[in-house]
Amino acid sequence: MFCSKKDSHSRECCPAAQVIPTNPALRCPWADDLIAADRVPYERYDGLSLDEAMADFKRLGARLNTGNPAAGEQGPKASLGYWKAVGADSAVLSWLYYGLPQPFASKPPRFTWPNSASAFQAAEFVEQTIAKQVAAGNFFAVDPSFAEVIHPLLVDTNGKKPRLCVNMIPTNAYLAAMPFTNETLGKVGEDIFRQDDHLLTADLAQAYYR
pLDDT tens, 17-74?
A: 788 887 787 889 999 999 999 999 989 999 999 999 999 999 999 999 999 998 887 7
Check residue 195 and give its pLDDT.
Answer: 80
Least confident of 74-78, 117-121, 174-178: 174-178
Phi, psi of 55 (to 5 degrees): -65, -45
pLDDT band at 88 (very low <50, low <70, confident <90, very high): very high
Please write the tens of the pLDDT for every residue from 127-146: 999 998 888 777 888 888 88
| pLDDT band (50, 70, 90) for residue 5 | very low
- Which pLDDT score is estimated for 110? 92
Contact (Cβ atoms closer than 8 angstroms) between residue 156 and residue 122: no
What are the boundaries of each domain within the chain? 11-102+177-209, 111-172
The pLDDT value recorded for residue 63 is 97
Each residue's pLDDT tens digit, 145-177: 888 899 999 999 876 789 999 999 888 888 887
Residue 178: predicted pLDDT: 65
| Dist CA 119 CA 151 (whole Å) | 12
So what's the pLDDT on residue 2?
A: 38
Confidence bin at 179 (pLDDT 50/70/90): low
Q: Is the pLDDT of residue 81 over 90?
A: yes
Pairing of strands 149-150, 111-112: parallel
The pLDDT of residue 129: 92
CA torsion 120-122-123-126 (nearest 10°) is -120
Instruction: Answer yes or no: is pLDDT of 91 > 50.
Output: yes
